[in-house]
Amino acid sequence: MTMTEVTMAAVILMGASSASLQIWSSSMAEIHNAQRRQLALNRIDGELIILQQQWQQLAQHGPLAPACLAASEQLLAVLQQTPQSAGVERELTLLPAEDGLMVLLRDQNEPGAHRQQLVKPGALRLCEGA
């Protein structure tokens, strides 16, 4: 084997190793990010379950108010008092007329992880529609 061949082999080996290490490094970072995003999704799911339990518990006791808008306002007050999980943003919006309450949950660090649920007091026997 000539000196030139040895040099060429060394250069190719170094190039391949360097490229492999770069791919390795970026892949590890991506896997780490994916785990972080999955944890964010799980956190939001957990927060949603807690809120769902709140409105299901309320529903067991019958109407909060005859009018659905008033029931939505009371539901909003109850959900606002529910402790919030760390790292999760909670946005509660009272919809106009008798359209209910929109619950938006977002992870503070992972914008892709979010849930949006509509709660209609009329669907849970929390109002009579008067």
Partner 1 sequence: MGLVLSSLSLQATALQSKLYFRSQVQVRSDQDQLSQAAQRLVSQLNLLHPCLLHLPEQDWALQGTACVDANQATSLIQGGEGDLADVRTLDWQPDASGQRVMLLLQLPTVAGGSGRRGLFAIRLGGDPVRAWSIQEQGLLGAPS
Q: How far is the CB of 94 from partner 1 (least distance, A)?
A: 15
Binding test (CB under 8 A) with partner 1, winner from 10, 11, 109, 129 = 129
Stretch that binds partner 1, among 3-11, 71-79, 81-89, 118-126 (CB under 8 A): 118-126
Amino acid present at 60: Q
- Three-class DSSP labels, 22-90: HHHHHHHHHHHHHHHHHHHHHHHHHHHHHHHHHHHHHHCCCCCCCCHHHHHHHHHHHHHHCCCCCCEEE
Enumerate binding residues for partner 1 (CB under 8 A). Answer: 16-17, 19-21, 23-24, 26-28, 30-31, 34-35, 37-38, 41, 45, 56, 59-60, 62, 68, 100, 112-113, 115-125, 127-129
